[in-house]
Amino acid sequence: MQLKIVGSPLPNIPWQPRPAGNQDLVWRYDANPVIGRRPLPRVTGIYNSAVVPWKGEFIGVFRTEGMDRVPHLHVGRSPDGLKFTFEPKPIDFKCDDPEVRRHEYAYDPRVTPIDGVHYITWCNGYHGPTIGLARTTDFVTFEQLENAFLPYNRNGVLFPRKVNGKFLMLSRPSDTGHTPFGDIFVSESPDLTHWGRHRHIFGRGWPWFQGMKIGAGPSPIETSEGWLLFYHAVTNTCNGYVYSMSAMLLDLEQPWKLIASADQAILCPEAPYELTGFVPGVCFPVGCLCDAATGRIAIYYGAADTFSALCFCQAEEIVQFIKDHSLKR
Ligand code: BMA
């Protein structure tokens, strides 16, 4: 297979080669976490956050959590994708409709460029969690659009281009709490306001690593073999939920059709910063960078609901692994 990523070269992608002797598909940045404890005054952690290339450097939308534990979204910038500075104030979304603008909480942002506009999707508090949506062209002014779905829903993730002339969004219908269930669906929209044609893509279940629920991670990556989607997979244990990362491949023109899904996780919580924090045992992928010239992928993931960490992989190896270890149910 000669896999191609559909996208631009990103020569300054943060990157480290796989360490000698390491046989893992996905390997961690050796100076993790990239964002440690107390990144801002009175902020206990920044995690589950999304980074994109921006004017030769990097920018992103970040989930902060203070001593009151209410999450908000902040803009952050980085020259190299490794060291970040953050706006001290949360994003002030602009919206003419006060009903849409009312703010309870905001978390787990994804950032997706489509036709030169950056769209932010996040878990937005509106009588319970649903999918908030906003757009920006400069990361200074953010225009908030209608919430995409009725509560309760989480992990709303846009595709980076229209498919058959329609915007597509993945989501995971949920409940108001820590949701002991969850499958990935896709919905389409002509205008980012009206969403319909909801299709089930893939469900929780066998094997045990994803027995409790699953949810889309970063925006799908377009490749010559299909959409490559990293996702979080949750298992239940006697000590609570454990979040790992796995990957699946979706049909390019009919993305509700699963081509193949890995039969195991490709990153499991085991590093100290994944096991020690506000919620131990969480690897939660949210943003990624890709270099179409080399097939390198750098994935930002929240660790233990406290830190932001980075891991690396090669697109072709991941796609080959999904095909070789395709789940049969
Ligand atoms: C999910 C979300 C994530 C969080 C995860 C683990 O339900 O709240 O933001 O990382 O739980 O606590």
Residue 18 falls within a domain, yes or no?
no
Ramachandran assignment for 104, one of left (phi > 0), alpha (psi -120 to 50 degrees), beta (any other): alpha
Question: Among 47, 72, 154, 172, which residue has the most ligand 1 atoms within 8 Å of its CB, making it the best to mutate?
Answer: 154
* Residues spanned by the domain of 180: 27-324
Buried b vs exposed e over 225-251: b needs ≥16 C-beta within 10 Å?
Answer: bbbbbbbbbbbeeeeebbbbbbbbbbe
Contact at 8 Å (CB) between 184 and 164? no
Q: What is the pLDDT of residues 7-63, one digit of tens each?
A: 999 999 999 999 999 999 999 999 999 999 999 999 999 999 999 999 999 999 999
The count of structural domains within the chain is: 1
Buried b vs exposed e over 128-139: b needs ≥16 C-beta within 10 Å?
Answer: ebbbbbbbbeeb
Residue 60 falls within a domain, yes or no?
yes
Closest alpha carbon to 3 in 161, 253, 222, 260? 222
Q: Which two tokens stand for residue 161?
A: 């281009």
Q: Which two tokens stand for residue 284?
A: 């939660």
Distance (Å, rounded) from C-alpha 28 to C-alpha 318? 15
Query: For residue 140, how far is its CA from the centre of ligand 1 (angstroms)?
Result: 27
| Regions of the chain short of the pLDDT cut 70 | none
Angle CA 182–6–321, to nearest 5: 55
Residues near ligand 1 (Cβ within 6 A)? 48, 107-108, 178, 243, 279, 282, 284, 302, 305
* Surface-to-core class of residue 3, CB atoms within 10 Å of its CB (0-12 exposed, 13-18 middle, 19+ buried): middle
Q: CATH number of the domain that 224 lies in?
A: 2.115.10.20
Task: Report the SS3 class of residue 101.
Answer: helix
Instruction: For the chain, give the percent of residues with pLDDT over 90.
Output: 99
Residue 2 falls within a domain, yes or no?
no
Residue 15 falls within a domain, yes or no?
no
How much is the pLDDT for 21?
97
Q: What is the pTM of this model?
A: 0.98
Query: For residue 243, how far is its CA from the centre of ligand 1 (angstroms)?
Result: 9
Residue 305 falls within a domain, yes or no?
yes
Q: What is the pLDDT of residues 209-238, one digit of tens each?
A: 999 999 999 999 999 999 999 999 999 999
